[in-house]
Structure 1
């Protein structure tokens, strides 16, 4: 019980940190591409030092194929961050975070398309519930281009995250910290053509927010999550994961005065409930007789049900 209690504290703290990510992004004052570039840079330093101290580079378990899969997952995860941070700018942290939490449903759809996994009638029903919730949360009205743009960006981020999860959760025998390290390292050359370093002149004290995104939200947060995953049952992980959007919404209201309207608020529990039920439903069986794809808890933010909730 003490073991599980510690895991609960670790994961709760990780989700609370994740919920403050939007504030760090906005307060940095940098463009989404610059924010993600420096998140990757400082995150790579933090994860690299941690892995070195823990001796994870010895017997790392990487093969050329596994390294390629980790890198491909990195492409998806990096641009997922870009789209999510663009969504923050277009709408609000609260709105983007709630829409972003449609990730589990894209995982279900990708599983059906790529691996011919069967979608049960119950999952179809919960997908319908989530869609209704999404319509309510969006609150999009004709001519409301900002909300439409934010909705599209957050959904695109969710799709990219789901793609990253599909790719990286098939990697076995490699510590998740090392996969995370590969993915943020991939982000550096990938984002270099898009980064505007000239715009960083005069950033001053705001560099602290960017360092925080790398060290706190990409280093410390992942370490806490992975430590917690080893101690907690799936059901508790899935429930605790909703600490993230709850904290994000409270933080957005407390710091920026943003809040979703009454009608939008009605859609939040629909998405949360449907997401939780789909996450806890267990893996679907393939439609054809074939070996089930190997899975492993080895992807950044994709190692468990909670992984589908964290930015």
Structure 2
């Protein structure tokens, strides 16, 4: 088998793995709601069962040998873990106050928080095309939110839910820019550190006494730990090693699509026409940010040159030069 065939086969396998991981992500909301536990209890037990799975997986794969952690890297992984576990808690809280569909789409504004936080914390430059995509995402967010006058007079639960989803996206962005600086360490080990930290971190917010009455809810909590924090992460990290960034960015949108289908199939929730108009704006803007899309504008001089009489090339047989990627 040639190298190109092997690469194509690896990419196909990676695409299947990432698609499966994103489909699993889309079912998280159902597992959270069906467990019947409070958001902080859900995250606490997700960390407990997730740590058990990831710890056993890392042990079997031998990741603890030559782990690559230094005190600085371990501290960064732990700091990222603080934001990731509270990101889960706020997202899960948002489900009950809005819907799984709305919360997931609003939560998908994460890439824009990464851009804004990079500019704020690391003085990263926001280019004109990035600013344009941020504006598109903001317009999409307004449409998806679907806020009406009644939402202000009905106790503000819906508005609070939107705020929780945005706060979850912000915390995810903070975790992303911090964790990206942990290099030379298996991502499974970074995830293990983060869920292990989540256990004592969330304990003060967890009402363990309520767990005795969960009944069948325990099965959903175990599923969140083993399936969504274990199997799903293993699939994602394996796929990331096989796929180029554009394919990862595109396949990531299986997640919100799957979440909306699950929300409709299980709970009968569906988005309005106005919200449906906003969803593609947010998704397109997210792709634009991740893939660096920018308009290719032709200058007036270029336009005039295109309409002028063609000039006979001096060396018609010469091979064309490679164009630099924009």
Q: Conserved in 2, the CA contact under 8 Å of 1:96 and 1:150?
A: yes
RMSD: 0.8
Secondary structure of 1:171's partner? coil
User: Which residue of structure 1 lines up, in the alignment, with residue 145 of structure 2?
Assistant: 138
Instruction: Give the one of 279, 286, 290 matched to 1:275.
Output: 286
In 1, the alpha carbon distance for the partners of 2:272 and 2:158 equals 13
Is 1:167 the counterpart of 2:178 in the alignment?
A: yes
Tell whether 2:203 aligns with 1:192.
yes
CA distance in 2, matches of 1:249, 1:196: 30
Residues of 2 paired with 1:143 and 1:257: CA distance?
22
Separation in structure 2 between the aligned mates of residue 154 and residue 104 of structure 1, nearest angstrom: 14
TM (norm. structure 2) is: 0.86
- Name the SS of the counterpart of 2:132 in structure 1: helix
Shift of 1:2: 1.1
Question: Which residue, out of 66, 69, 72, partners 1:62?
Answer: 69
Q: CA deviation at 1:47?
A: 0.3
Instruction: Quote the Cα distance in structure 2 between the aligned partners of 1:142 and 1:59.
Output: 58
In structure 2, the residue matched to 1:307 is: none
Tell me, in whole angstroms, the C-alpha distance in 1 between the residues paired with 2:286 and 2:128.
Answer: 15
1:68-89, CA deviations, whole angstroms, 9 ceiling, x for partnerless residues? 1111000000000000000001
**Larger-gyration structure (1/2):** 2
Q: TM-score, normalised by structure 1?
A: 0.90
Unaligned segments of structure 1, at least 5 residues = 283-311
Is the aligned partner of 1:221 residue 2:232? yes
CA drift of 1:202 comes to 2.2
Does 2:52 match 1:41?
no
Q: State yes or no: 1:203 paired with 2:214.
A: yes
For residues 252 and 143 of structure 1, what CA distance do their matches in structure 2 show? 23
- Alpha-carbon offset, residue 236 of structure 1: 0.5
Aligned residues: 282
Runs (4+) of structure 1 moved beyond 3 Å?
none
Partner of 1:241: 252
Residue 79, structure 1, aligned to residue 90, structure 2: no
Q: Secondary structure at the match of 2:216?
A: helix
Q: Determine if the alignment matches structure 1 residue 11 to structure 2 residue 22.
A: no
- Offset at residue 146 of structure 1 (A): 2.5
| 1:272-302 deviation per Cα after TM superposition (whole angstroms, max 9, x unaligned) | 00010001119xxxxxxxxxxxxxxxxxxxx
Instruction: State the SS of the aligned residue for 2:66.
Output: coil
